[in-house]
Amino acid sequence: MSIRTVIIEDDPGTSGIIAGWLRASADFEHLQSFAHPVAALREVATLRPDVALVDINLPGISGIEFVREAKPLLPATQFVMLTVYRDVEHIFSALSAGATGYLLKSTLRDQLFAAIKDVHDGGSPMSGDVARMVVRSFCRPAPARHELAELSEREREVLQLLATGYLYKEIADQLGIGVNTVSTYVRRIYEKLHVRSRAQAVAKLLNVPPEPPPA
């Protein structure tokens, strides 16, 4: 029985190539491609795909937010991120939102086919360097937690939402506070954790080692 797929990707070239691959294979039934995640949210519940391939950088809402909203509607669907992003923040935010796999757009056709079959069979496919980053995060001894202990309860709430991929406006809505107040909390979090970016703060929360500087 063929695996039913959808694509959420705003680049028509990328979407067209992948859709063509899927349609040409007897192992897959490509149901539909969506350029806009909001439109996809309206229709995926009816299509009920087995696997959804989702870009992260999308118009309107991110692919990570799309997965977070679509997963409760489609608990049996497996969501696989297909993206150019390979940083800690995006990887863990996507997995926290409900993605089952994380692939880079450099993935070759046969590797993509194998990954779709793997996730459909219960696996969690990831591109090689992404998988190594995840493994390192679990193999590394836990660092001292004294910096996190310095955070207030509200600051920890904000940091948890940052780690899940929420935008400042979404955090403000979740906590019932203003966007400027969220910015103040984030600034205090950075100061207490001695970091300068969301990715670095999330990495400390998740005990993920920092990425090495480029050669």
- 101: closest CA among 54, 140, 167? 54
Residue 215 within a domain:
no
Residue 82 and residue 178 in one domain: no
pLDDT the model gives residue 81? 94
Q: Model confidence over 175-211: pLDDT tens digits?
A: 999 988 998 999 899 888 888 777 778 877 876 544 4
Residue 34 and residue 71 in one domain: yes
Residue 84 and residue 112 in one domain: yes
Residue 49 and residue 123 in one domain: yes
Residue 199 and residue 171 in one domain: yes
Reported as a pLDDT band with limits 50, 70 and 90, residue 214 is: very low
Higher pLDDT, 156 or 127: 156
138, 162, 194 - which closes a domain: 138
Residue 132 and residue 56 in one domain: yes
Residue 67 within a domain:
yes
| For residues 138-142, average pLDDT | 51
pLDDT the model gives residue 96? 84
| Predicted confidence (pLDDT) at residue 85 exceeds the cutoff of 70 | yes
pLDDT the model gives residue 136? 59
CA pair distance 152, 143, nearest whole angstrom:
19
Domain span at residue 118 reads 3-138
Residue 134 and residue 152 in one domain: no
Residue 67 and residue 111 in one domain: yes
161: Cβ contacts below 8 Å, ≥ 6 apart? 170, 171, 174, 175
How far is residue 150 from each of residues 42, 172, 174, 175, measured CA to CA in Å? 43, 22, 23, 20
Residue 56 and residue 155 in one domain: no
pLDDT the model gives residue 145? 57
pLDDT the model gives residue 144? 45
Reported as a pLDDT band with limits 50, 70 and 90, residue 135 is: low
pLDDT the model gives residue 117? 94
Of the listed ranges 114-123, 162-171, 194-203, the least confidently predicted one is 194-203
Q: Looking at residue 193, which CATH number applies to its domain?
A: 1.10.10.10
Strands across the sheet containing 78-83: 28-34, 3-8, 51-54, 78-83, 101-104
Q: How many domains does the chain have?
A: 2
Residue 214 within a domain:
no
Reported as a pLDDT band with limits 50, 70 and 90, residue 49 is: very high
Residue 129 and residue 175 in one domain: no
